Amino acid sequence: MAAGEERRFTVPPAAAGQRLDVFLAEQLAERSRSALARLIRAGAVELDGRRARPGESLRAGDRLTVRLPAPQPLTLTPTAIPLSILYQDEQLAVIDKPAGLVVHPAAGHSEGTLVHALLYHLEGLAGIGDRLRPGIVHRLDKDTSGLLLVAKTELAQRRLSARIAERAVKREYLALVWGQLATASGVIDAPIGRDPRQRPRMAVRPDGGRPARTRFSRIDSLSGFDYIRLELETGRTHQIRVHLAHVGHPVFGDPLYGGRRVRAEGRSREERETQRELLALLGRQALHAWRLSFEHPFTGELQVFTAPLPPDMRATLARLGCAHPMPDD
């Protein structure tokens, strides 16, 4: 977000009665609610031309003006973090990101991110795109493993970002989920927005969320679980995790959306103990960005990349008796 940027909003009918700081936290998801509250107290937020007050309720049609301060300077130091670079040319690179690695600097993660590693391994990346996210055209959650596309030039950044916005980059995932889905394949079509009660979470929001579609198909039905393949048609924050939790089948091991709770109902003591052992074995959400396909932004050639399952997911699936963890195509 640019230094000194001014943002304007008109309160929709669906947000009538909402607290000012809650509404702004939904509109400016990159800013914490506490930081926005400080801006309100500092007089940086106007409501219908007057200085806004913290905690006041909004009415439909209210007009808000928010003056955002310049971001604090942050120096990105190239860091020799090991990376699996599956492919690179002069324009782009494809990375197999391990679970546990944050993609770019953010609150609480100013060092040791994928961006710091990219600056070490890829020459000339500094200055490509956002200064805190050089080369980044899409993201993976910290504890999601798998394929990530990186731009190495300014022009590649623009073209790849446009391809993703046009849904011309196909991103496919593998996930282990709790329970058995009602159908072997289908589409989850449900809008997603910031959870108004728990800021770190996203949620299905029929009253103003952004459109979100996720395709799924079953690979294997296991004891108490489904192993599935997913394709993003849109790219909302936490989309797969939110959609699967919404239909009652959260990603196994997902701490934010109910995937780390042992399912005791109807289960024997032995089955519950197995669940605990599997949760300890995996230690994260069982979600892997498996395949990435797109037309090269300069040559037009179809590029297809796959990333093998990491050992923790492979061991978890083997324990459940999954004989063929990788799709045939």
Is 189 one of the annotated active-site residues of the chain?
A: no
DSSP-derived 3-state class of residue 94: strand
63-67, strands of its sheet edge to edge: 6-10, 63-67, 45-47, 50-51
Angstrom distance (rounded) from CA 213 to CA 188: 6
Catalytic residue among 141, 143, 226, 312: 141
Give the strand pairing for 225-232 and 170-178. antiparallel
**Alpha-carbon torsion angle 192, 48, 40, 26, nearest 10:** 0
Determine which helix (DSSP H) or strand (DSSP E) holds 177, and give its type and residue range: strand 170-178
DSSP-derived 3-state class of residue 288: strand
Which residues, in sequence order, are CB contacts of 187 under 8 Å at separation 6+? 213, 214, 215, 216, 233
DSSP-derived 3-state class of residue 313: helix
Residues catalogued as catalytic: 141
